[in-house]
Amino acid sequence: PRIHHRRPRGCQSPPALSSVRALRRHPPPSPRPSSRARNFLRTLKSSLKSQPPLAGPEGGGAAMEHGSATDSTASTFSIMEEDHTLANSARFVLNQDPRVAFCGYSIPHPADKKVNIRVQTTGDPAKDVLKDALQDLMVMCQHVRGTFDNAVASHRAKEPAEQMDIDQK
């Protein structure tokens, strides 16, 4: 499996994290996240709270934490029914967090819809850092969706539907 990991400590991180934190404190009014995102976060929260983990081979979006009972700062999370889309986005957001020492993900087999995300932190519990990162990711997605919807509404207001003839040759 191919592992995607964080950039070295010496590299500058983009200034996006400070704006994400500001958006997290004062989120703009935007539409609710998609039902897939809500279901995924609900499943992830419930599976991270419960002991033992809920995920099995038939999964359905459930997450399972693999880690040491004595060291909560390093864990691997197996998330069912997900692919590179969520894993790479979560990896990016996790790598922006100063509490993260290492983050990477792998997909065990291309035919399996399963992602393993490895998180090692500098002291905080890994599952709390992952929850925070996924909340930040959700805020970013809501902001992008709101901006897109506003741009579409603005364009439609400027140019009525009759003038937008897509069948024109």
* Residue-wise pLDDT tens digits, 6-16: 555 555 555 55
- For β-strands 74-80 and 4-5, DSSP reports them as unpaired
Q: Report the pLDDT value the prediction gives residue 109, as an integer from 0 to 100.
A: 92
Q: What is the Cα–Cα distance from 121 to 108, expressed in whole angstroms? A: 23
Reply yes or no on whether the pLDDT at 164 is more than 80: no
Q: What is the pLDDT of residues 88-139, one digit of tens each?
A: 999 999 999 999 999 999 999 999 889 999 999 999 999 999 999 999 999 9
For the chain, the structural domain boundaries read 34-153
Q: Report the pLDDT value the prediction gives residue 123, as an integer from 0 to 100.
A: 92
Q: Which DSSP string do the residues of 37-102 spell out, in sequence order?
A: HHHHHHHHHHHHHSSS----TT-SS-EEEEE-SS-TTEEEEEEET--HHHHHHHHHHHHH-TTEEE
Phi then psi for 59, rounded to 5 degrees? Answer: 25, -90
- Give the confidence band of 55 by pLDDT, cuts at 50, 70, 90: very low
Q: What is the pLDDT of residues 18-52, one digit of tens each?
A: 555 555 555 555 556 666 666 666 666 665 555 44
Neighbouring residues of 33: CB distance < 8 A, sequence distance ≥ 6: 41, 138, 141, 142, 145
**Rounded average pLDDT over 73-81:** 92
Reply yes or no on whether the pLDDT at 156 is more than 70: yes
CATH fold for the domain made of 34-153: Gyrase A; domain 2 (3.30.1360)
Q: What is the pLDDT of residues 100-113, one digit of tens each?
A: 999 999 999 999 88
- Give the confidence band of 59 by pLDDT, cuts at 50, 70, 90: very low
Q: Report the pLDDT value the prediction gives residue 54, as an integer from 0 to 100.
A: 38
